[in-house]
Structure 1
């Protein structure tokens, strides 16, 4: 048994770091969400909605957002037409948690690890706002394509960006990059 533990130590260490980080960050985020009433929108989701509106306004779009009084979501109107519902799952925090967990599991020097997590998380956040803005415009012009646009294209976009960031992390900054550069 000790032989297998030694042989698979790097993989087991990766899994342990990944799941511990993921569980801890998810529990912290769940605690954060529990601090809001059932029909109240958390401030991160509100910020995403506000930033989406600001971004669309930069392009002279006729955009309005409205908090639903009885539910925990924000309605987004494009050209006075209700096109999107921004919910907690739209704020990309779960994607950022997944991103950070992976970076920690392949951690390098602490300074680089923390810097990459912060810069990568900001990148994911900004690209998520762009994603919601473009998605809203596309849903206005192509409402019959909702399932493809929302269910396929844009998840591929956001997870594709996270995947590229992971590759950059592994190849340029992680301990793995240093170990393979020396051999």
Structure 2
């Protein structure tokens, strides 16, 4: 009986192992940057968000709050939001990569994972830009967009990518 479930159990085990390895590696990275303010990846995203906003008529300055490990966005002369480690979408990217590699299909797995990570990175960048713009011009909608609209766009993108991976790549040979 267990033999019937072996493929599913292998995929599940691969997912769990990959997810835990990536999660622990990320935690190690975070621990290595403790005490120096916001981690360098999150800091890079904050700088890129400010660049996009400055290019789109939303003059932005960054205030680095090293002690509290955050960066404040100062947009149009107002402090509107802050960038913390959780805003960098790495946890979402780890989940995405673990799922894709659980259904490993050779070189195309790496290509799809990299393309998906790039798309998620861009989506996250635009999510933060969008939130800052909303907080400047329509603060009354800020909580709704922060808590519901933008998270659903990021997680929705992950689900669509997973569906594309399964339908067109991971199970393609089995359907033919």
| TM tier relative to shorter chain | over 0.9
2:73 to 76, 86, 92: 76
Which segments of structure 1 move beyond 6 Å, counting only runs of 4 or more? none
State the Cα RMSD in Å: 1.2
Contact 2:38–2:66 (CA<8 Å) still a contact in 1? Answer: no
User: What displacement does 1:60 show?
Assistant: 2.2
User: What displacement does 1:39 show?
Assistant: 5.2
Secondary structure at the counterpart of residue 37 of structure 1? coil
Secondary structure at the counterpart of residue 107 of structure 1? coil
Contact 1:39–1:71 (CA<8 Å) still a contact in 2? Answer: no
Number of equivalences? 176
The alignment status of 1:44 with 2:41, answered yes or no, reads: yes
Unaligned residue ranges in structure 2 (runs of 5+): none
User: What displacement does 1:107 show?
Assistant: 1.6
2:111 to 79, 94, 115: 115
Unaligned residue ranges in structure 1 (runs of 5+): none
Q: Matches of 2:53 and 2:142 in 1, distance apart?
A: 19
Contact 1:45–1:88 (CA<8 Å) still a contact in 2? Answer: yes
Q: Matches of 1:142 and 1:61 in 2, distance apart?
A: 14
> Normalising by the residue count of structure 2, what TM-score does the alignment of the two structures yield?
0.95
> Normalising by the residue count of structure 1, what TM-score does the alignment of the two structures yield?
0.92
